[in-house]
Amino acid sequence: MAKLETRGLSVGYHGKPLMKEIQLSVLPGKILALIGPNGSGKTTILKTIIGSLEPMGGVVLLDGNDLNRLKRGERAKEMAAMMTGRTEVEHATCFEVVSVGRHQFTGISGRLSEADEKAVQEALEFVGAEGLSGAEFSKLSDGQKQRVLLARALAQEPEILILDEPTSFLDIGYKLAFADKLKRLAREKQIGVVLSLHEIELAKRIADECLCITREGKIDRMGKVEEILTPAYVEQLFNIEEGEFARTYENPAPSHYNQGHHDPVRSETEHVAPGDIETRSFEIIGEELSARNIVLPEDKAFLIKRAIHTTADFEYAKTLCFSGNAIGRMAELIRSGADIVTDTNMALSGINKKELAKYGGEVHCFMADEDVATEAKTRGVTRATVSMERAAKWKKPVIFAIGNAPTALLNLRAMYDNGTFRPEFIVGVPVGFVNVEISKERIMETDIPYIINRGRKGGSNVAAAICNAVLYEMKKGNL
């Protein structure tokens, strides 16, 4: 019997359904991945499943019971969730944050028993964060926070685990380790898992089944991962040029820096305290840059290294491009209270809002706004286009951090050309195949200050990393 099931489920906002007749089921020990472009509605489905949004129609069943009829405490004993969005917790240790996951067991007193403390410690160990137990949560990196929040969900000892983009801020090593551990956890403890993912290869590695959603928010296919996620179908789902996905991911060309250069595989495991992993990662990046005879510009090295750290891709040392005094200009805008407008919720979640707020700035993403979606559909344009037009009317200075939609860059260039708007600054790192390269070149032809990654590579995580790199250097007093 399915542990979690939806029947005729419709989801949406403000009484207006975005998707209808969603039928999914999750068996104990199995993993279901939601796959689709940014803004297709994956998070909306997950929010409805966990009860954060009311269903527009149909039902969500947990062990055959209507979720809406269950009390919050009853839900918590069956289901745990980790959703996107920054969690701000002041003056709390990581152990205390994870302990929140035990509240349904502790009763009114909130006192942890020996069994509760053991469950918290085991959850921290599972995500590789046992060394962070006594660390202050607010001082962790984004990747470390994500692991601690995952531990909090695991500490609930749920039978259903809901995860929204759980690997978005993990480096490649942690992503692979997480995938393998989660699959083992699901099997051993018979937990049913529903998660949204952007990494197709990770979905193939971790999931049993997938539910695919089109850019227009329609449920397209559901079934076994190995049968559905073929290169041809992935290209269709994400509107990728025919053959490009297979050439890039199935049979990738050798990296520019790996031609004639082979990094030695480390023969022994490094014993590094969890709190020192990021520092050690940057040390390794420095070592490998030296081994490749790559010398980074001194004033840009911190930012390029953070992009490499986020992606494990040394080509960023070659492809990141900067207009004159780009970093200084970006820091100047932040210091003046500029807001950041991005084109994905992932980048919205990843940019350090706390640091930006110190200067009076906020981060915005209009892509999921109902009126934006309605206008885009009426005009037959992308939501990114409408979002950029809205941002152009913003009363404050705006830094654009574009990590997904080349149409966002093309629209900004169009407004620049017709004289209706000149962006103050653009971080342009959309990823993909259709119009991605030319959209970046179009911005670089102007006098708009920019940080651009030439070519097809980029992504929301890179856009967030670039913004955070500047914010962190400002915090250190280096900018």
Catalytic residues: 309
User: What burial letters (b/e) apply to 210-232, b meaning 16+ CB within 10 Å?
Assistant: bbbbbbebebbebeebeebbebe
What is the H or E stretch that residue 405 is in?
A: none
Q: Which of 161, 245, 170, 169 is nearest to 195 (CA)?
A: 161
**161 Cβ partners below 8 Å, 6+ apart?**
79, 80, 81, 153, 154, 186, 191, 192, 193, 194, 195
Separation CA 278–CA 275 (nearest Å) = 7
Joined tokens for residue 309 = 């750290």
Q: Strands 209-213 and 219-224, how do they pair?
A: antiparallel
Distance CA 87, CA 252 (A): 37
Residue 471 CB burial class (10 angstroms; 0-12, 13-18, ≥19): buried
Sign of CA dihedral 407, 382, 462, 469: positive
Consecutive H or E run containing 194: strand 192-196
Sign of CA dihedral 174, 177, 183, 187: negative
What is the distance between the alpha carbons of residues 276 and 225, in angstroms, rounded to a whole number? Answer: 36
Contact present, 408 and 343 (Cβ < 8 Å) = yes
SS3 state at 169: coil
Q: Which residues contact 170 (CB under 8 A, 6 or more apart)?
A: 143, 146, 147, 178
Strand partners, 17: 12
